[in-house]
Amino acid sequence: MKVVGLTTSTADRKRRAGQRLVIGLAGASISEEERAFIREVRPGGFILFGRNVEDAAQVRELNRELRSCLPEELPPIRTVDQEGGRVQRVKAPATLWPPMRHLGNIADRELTRQVGAALGREVRACGFDLDFAPVADVDSNPKNPVIGDRAFSAKPRDTAHHVASFIDGMQGEGCIACAKHFPGHGDTTVDSHLDLPVVEKDPPDLDQVELPPFAAAVRARVGTVMTAHVVYPGWDEHRPATMSARIVRGQLRDRLRYDGVVFSDDMEMKAVRGRYPLDMQLREATAASVDVFLMCKELQLAHEAWELLVRMQEDDKAHEDAAIDSVKRWNLLRERFFIDASPQPGLDVLGCPDHQLLAARIRAQGGQS
């Protein structure tokens, strides 16, 4: 694969800035405004939600069209949140998987690997390259409004085992996994979609509870990691993890030795949107070694972010160097999963008898609280 975007011309700065954005669409097809944006910005990828889904065949065709909108040397990474349970964007005929807590209750790592593999097959059949799963948060706070049964367990060690098994299964099917939300969203009492959570824990507690599942994900060679818009004063009193070099670079890159792609959580969430200026968000997250920014709905905001990412490279050599590093990691991810990729599964894998039996078994055995 030809590696592009590593020189210093204005065109390459624009290309690098575009590669660092994954954008959402408004509906079930690509609007003319979105086509114009894609032609100009050439984003690194796309994320689809329930508003983009009519049925599985339409999603597969939409993803095919999205890939055709960009040059062959810059294939987009097409992403989705398909966790199972309450976070599942493509519904029937796709298998309706129970929450991952069911797998934690059963405590069979091979079963978890099988679910990761089955989810990976179905996600790829719909035309996606990456699934924002598994949740690697430890559900350690019963008052948590957003994680709950999305997590495998309330125990760090058990969560870590299941996270690793799920990643092994999913990536074994050629679907890129994403461990989220680093360094852990499980002990919050606030939903970061609505406000800025703060986790008041000392570093030893964070080490023992939050980090083990992400360490397991790194050992399992997870393709990507997503940050949390959460403040951890024990590590950084002033910035949420997404914007914190002490957390992303210090804990994830240096301490856990993770060298892959780091996504931000959606930059439109109220934990960060309007709380910090956009240029500050992008600058500090880049300094923290966040590679790719999710802009899930507002095209105007994504365009503003693109322009800022171009300008920051022009104004700051350190920012440009960081952008070059991010594009290198993005290209390495493409090479790892796109070169010699297995054939895309057919739509008949969605809700197939084997997957339905697997889901039914998990509901029957893992439904206890």
Residues marked as catalytic: 193, 265
Tokens for 61?
């065709």
Instruction: Mention every residue, 6+ apart, whose C-beta is less than 8 A from residue 152.
Output: 100, 101, 103, 104, 112, 134, 135, 158, 159, 162, 163
Cα-trace Rg, the chain: 19
Q: Where would I find the H helices in the chain? A: 10-19, 32-41, 56-68, 100-106, 109-125, 156-172, 203-209, 211-219, 278-287, 299-315, 317-338, 353-366
Distance, first Cα to last Cα, the chain: 48
Residue 341: DSSP 8-state:
P
- Residue 338 tokens read as 């796109």
Q: How many CB atoms lie within 10 A of CB 2?
A: 8
